[in-house]
């Protein structure tokens, strides 16, 4: 294989651009300082030392660690926004066998690329966060499930694991304490569904990534049938800061019920796409400014939380702050923090066609409403986009989406349906125009003719 | 099929990550190793890996066929996967795929007559801010691949293939 390094991302555009606000996870990174000694210079592994009582203090009990995380208001950064401390408290305390901890780095939600930059440029913050979580929940072993498409990042993380083991930050009797925790990296190989936590567990067990029925939830029946907690990469990465500075300070960084900073991947029609770590509650307009503003026209619409989140028109979005509650109130979801920006030349039917293709491609096939329904959605949107649609198709589309929602084992069905419903709700006139005129009203008429 | 000692050592490193009774957990990593070394995953390789991991061959085959990145057929020396999902499409991902295809004279999923290139569209690679993005042979991600850089890449890979066949 020839040297292809000149074609590779350096992180300058997406991560070390200096346009974060109050960064906690991305703070001080430059691409070369990912190693353990660099991380320690930034204060790394101090939180782990503190809970183990190795910094001269009294240490913290597992319950105290969980209480601290609860007080921070930290919510899951992978998409669902579930309170992290509460999730940790679900793990059984007096379980006789092994318990597991899993990090979900299967970052494949279209629009999202934040975890990649954490793992590539600050891998030890995830290792430390997981070690703290393992201590809090009594987990003896953990796995970081990394998106198969970012193989070089997987290799980087394995290097960081080797460093952490050599320094005594992982393994038997960590840093000389009585606490032991082993952590390994596991890679995927191309399956969006494995971002769903129980599909991910199946995948770790060496099976097809088909989600499990819940209950039982992973806290009682997880990997190998053992109690397991799964958190997103960014969630674990937030933990060391919380232990070092306190949950209350973390909460104060964001807004009530929305503690801390959040990394947003701003992509699509912006002048400077990238990852931006900002306090939750920051106005959307400020985030857009950090990403260099809209490219190629005026702002038309934003998909604010990854491709599964319902689209919001510009006027609604410009009134929003970037936090779980504000985006939910506006009728969408913060999701993984992927902000897909679209300018006024974009055709919403064409955009939805690409998303609908994706969901029918990635449906695992287990539940009929999703397996069949996502195909119907795609074919209906394809028909409308290509000038063969009937007016009643728009309502059929909405009805199929409605009938998928809530009728499947996992959230992929909802994820396929929500973009459809959002597009029809806010941009119905474009679908009507396609049916009536057999062509697109937006600036992509030429594209329509060629596809 | 028998695996070389080097390959078995790579397998063993993956197996060691999991409890001894759960060797099957290493199947994804081992199949990726097979693909890296042999170019694709044959049924013979699946059967041999199944024996090594103590799994039914069909369980290995289920994994090969479920995950998008396993090649179930031989591919070109360089497999190029260009992301065309919506965030990439907004930043010329589809244009990048079209450009590579027309430059190489293949349809999507096609392989060039000389066996050097296979071109495939792909779903989200998780690098949306770097669009257009692509993978070369599963393990190397290339970013900001506009037409000029794509041409340069094709030239680089083609020259490398020509050198090797000399």
CB contact under 8 A, B28 and A186: yes
Cβ-based neighbour number of residue B144 at 10 Å: 16
- What distance in Å separates the CA atoms of residue A442 and residue A446, rounded to the nearest whole number? 10
pLDDT score, position B166: 80
**Contact by Cβ (8 Å): B121, B78:** no
How many Å lie between the alpha carbon of A418 and the closest alpha carbon of chain B? 15
**Can you say whether residue A49 is alpha, beta or left, with left for phi > 0 and alpha for psi between -120 and 50 degrees?**
alpha
- If you ran DSSP here, which 8-state letter would residue A341 be given? E
Q: Which residues of A touch B69 (CB under 8 A)?
A: 148-149, 189-190
Sign of CA dihedral A214, A215, A218, A219: positive
Query: What does the block give as tokens for A445?
Result: 């008429």
pLDDT tier, A64 (very low <50, low <70, confident <90, very high otherwise): very high
Q: What average pLDDT does this structure show over A270-295?
A: 98
pLDDT score, position A446: 42
Query: What does the block give as tokens for B163?
Result: 């050198």
**Contact by Cβ (8 Å): A102, A205:** no
Query: What does the block give as tokens for A155?
Result: 């290799």
pLDDT tier, A40 (very low <50, low <70, confident <90, very high otherwise): very high
Q: What average pLDDT does this structure show over A156-163?
A: 98
**Concatenated DSSP letters for A186-232?**
EE--S-GGGGSHHHHHHHHTTS---PPPSSSPTTTS-GGGS-EEEEE
- Asked if residue A450 has pLDDT above 50, the reply is no
- What distance in Å separates the CA atoms of residue A73 and residue A254, rounded to the nearest whole number? 9
Using CB atoms, which residue from A98, A267, A355 is nearest to B129? Answer: A267
- What distance in Å separates the CA atoms of residue A313 and residue A342, rounded to the nearest whole number? 10
∠ CA B93-B95-B98, rounded to 5° = 115
How many Å lie between the alpha carbon of B139 and the closest alpha carbon of chain A? 5
User: Sheet harboring A228-232: ordered strands across?
Assistant: A182-187, A141-146, A100-105, A228-232
The Cα-based distances of A11 to A22, A117, A241, A312 in angstroms read 19, 7, 23, 29
- What distance in Å separates the CA atoms of residue A421 and residue A156, rounded to the nearest whole number? 40
Q: Which residues of A touch B109 (CB under 8 A)?
A: none
pLDDT score, position A443: 53
Q: What average pLDDT does this structure show over A26-52?
A: 97
Q: What percent of chain A has pLDDT over 90?
A: 95
- What distance in Å separates the CA atoms of residue A323 and residue A258, rounded to the nearest whole number? 6
CB contact under 8 A, A13 and B130: yes
Q: Most distant CA pair in chain B: distance in Å?
A: 51
Query: Tens digit of pLDDT for each residue in A71-93?
Result: 999 999 998 899 999 999 999 99
Query: Tens digit of pLDDT for each residue in B49-106?
Result: 999 999 999 999 999 999 999 999 999 999 999 999 999 999 999 999 999 999 999 9
- What distance in Å separates the CA atoms of residue A109 and residue B88, rounded to the nearest whole number? 12
Return the H-helix or E-strand segment holding A358.
helix A348-362
Query: Tens digit of pLDDT for each residue in A196-231?
Result: 999 999 999 999 999 999 999 999 999 999 999 999
CB contact under 8 A, B90 and A148: no
For all residues of chain A together, what is the average pLDDT? 95
Query: Tens digit of pLDDT for each residue in A114-124?
Result: 999 999 999 99
pLDDT score, position B165: 83
Which residue(s) pair with A340 in the sheet?
A: A267, A303
Query: Tens digit of pLDDT for each residue in A173-186?
Result: 999 999 999 999 99
ipTM of the complex: 0.97
pLDDT score, position A441: 76
- Asked if residue A329 has pLDDT above 80, the reply is yes
CB contact under 8 A, A190 and B68: yes
**Contact by Cβ (8 Å): B159, B109:** no
Query: Tens digit of pLDDT for each residue in A394-417?
Result: 999 999 999 999 999 999 999 999
pLDDT score, position B3: 97
Query: What does the block give as tokens for B83?
Result: 């992301």
- Residue A261 three-state SS: strand
- What distance in Å separates the CA atoms of residue B5 and residue A299, rounded to the nearest whole number? 58
Q: Strand runs (DSSP E) across chain B, as ranges?
A: 78-83, 117-122, 134-136, 140-142
Q: Which residues of A touch B85 (CB under 8 A)?
A: 110, 307, 354, 358
Q: Which residues of A touch B55 (CB under 8 A)?
A: 206
pLDDT score, position B29: 98
On whether any CB of chain B is under 8 Å from the CB of A363, the answer is no
CB contact under 8 A, A7 and B66: no
CB contact under 8 A, B87 and A307: yes
Using CB atoms, which residue from A148, A189, A355 is nearest to B86? Answer: A355
CB contact under 8 A, B129 and A1: no
Q: Which residue of A has its CA nearest to B85?
A: A354
Query: What does the block give as tokens for B77?
Result: 């020396």
Burial of B15 (0-12, 13-18, 19+ CB in 10 A): buried
Burial of A38 (0-12, 13-18, 19+ CB in 10 A): middle
Q: Which of B79, B61, B59 is nearest to B69 (CA)?
A: B79
């Amino acid at each position: 294989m020839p040297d292809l390094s000149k074609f590779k991302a350096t992180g300058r555009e997406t991560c070390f651009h200096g346009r974060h606000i109050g960064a906690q996870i991305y703070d001080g990174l430059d691409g070369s300082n990912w190693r353990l000694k660099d991380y320690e210079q930034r204060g790394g592994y101090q939180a782990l030392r503190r809970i183990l009582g190795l910094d001269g203090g009294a240490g913290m009990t597992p319950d105290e660690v969980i209480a601290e995380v609860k007080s921070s208001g930290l919510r899951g950064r992978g998409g669902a926004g579930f309170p992290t401390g509460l999730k940790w408290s679900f793990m059984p305390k007096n379980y006789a066998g092994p318990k597991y901890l899993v990090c979900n780095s299967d970052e494949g939600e279209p629009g999202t690329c934040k975890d990649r930059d954490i793992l590539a440029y600050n891998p030890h913050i995830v290792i430390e966060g997981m070690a703290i979580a393992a201590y809090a929940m009594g987990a003896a072993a953990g796995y970081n499930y990394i998106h198969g498409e970012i193989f070089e990042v997987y290799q980087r993380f394995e290097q960081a694991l080797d460093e952490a083991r050599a320094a005594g930050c992982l393994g038997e009797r960590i840093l000389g304490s009585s606490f032991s925790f082993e952590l390994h990296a596991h890679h995927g190989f191309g399956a969006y569904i494995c971002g769903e936590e129980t599909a991910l567990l199946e995948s770790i067990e060496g099976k097809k990534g088909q989600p499990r029925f819940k209950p039982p939830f992973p806290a009682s029946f997880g990997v190998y049938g053992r109690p397991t907690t799964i958190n997103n990469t960014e969630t674990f990465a937030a933990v060391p800061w919380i232990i070092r500075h306190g949950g209350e300070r973390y909460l104060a960084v964001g807004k009530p019920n929305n503690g801390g900073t959040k990394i947003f991947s701003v992509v699509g029609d912006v002048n400077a796409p990238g990852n931006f770590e900002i306090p939750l509650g920051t106005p959307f307009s400020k985030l857009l400014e950090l990403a260099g503003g809209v490219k190629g026209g005026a702002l038309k619409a934003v998909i604010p939380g990854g491709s599964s989140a319902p689209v919001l028109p510009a006027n609604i979005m410009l009134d929003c702050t970037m936090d779980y509650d504000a985006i939910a109130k506006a009728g969408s979801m913060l999701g993984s923090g992927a902000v897909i920006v679209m300018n006024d030349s974009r055709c919403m039917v064409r955009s939805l066609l690409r998303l609908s293709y994706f969901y029918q491609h990635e449906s695992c096939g287990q539940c009929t409403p999703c397996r069949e329904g996502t195909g119907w959605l795609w074919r209906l949107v394809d028909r409308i986009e290509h000038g063969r649609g009937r007016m009643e198709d728009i309502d059929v589309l909405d009805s199929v989406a409605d009938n998928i929602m809530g009728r499947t084992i996992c959230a992929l069905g909802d994820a396929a349906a929500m973009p459809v419903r959002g597009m029809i709700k806010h941009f119905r006139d474009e679908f009507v125009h396609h049916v009536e005129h057999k062509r697109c009203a937006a600036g992509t008429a030429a594209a329509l003719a060629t596809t | 099929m028998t695996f070389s000692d080097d390959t078995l050592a790579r397998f063993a490193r993956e197996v060691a990550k999991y409890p001894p009774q759960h060797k099957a957990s290493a199947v994804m990593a081992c199949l990726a190793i097979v693909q890296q070394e042999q170019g694709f995953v044959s049924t013979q390789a699946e059967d041999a890996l199944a024996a090594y991991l103590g799994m039914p061959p069909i369980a290995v085959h289920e994994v090969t066929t479920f995950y998008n990145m396993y090649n179930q057929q031989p591919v070109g020396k360089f497999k190029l996967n260009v992301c065309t999902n919506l965030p990439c499409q907004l930043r010329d991902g589809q244009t990048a795929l079209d450009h590579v295809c027309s430059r190489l004279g293949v349809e999507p999923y096609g392989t060039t007559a000389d066996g050097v290139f296979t071109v495939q569209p792909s779903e989200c690679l998780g690098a949306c801010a770097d669009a257009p993005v692509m993978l070369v042979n599963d393990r190397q991600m290339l970013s900001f691949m506009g037409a000029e850089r794509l041409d340069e890449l094709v030239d680089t890979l083609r020259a490398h293939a020509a050198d090797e066949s000399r």
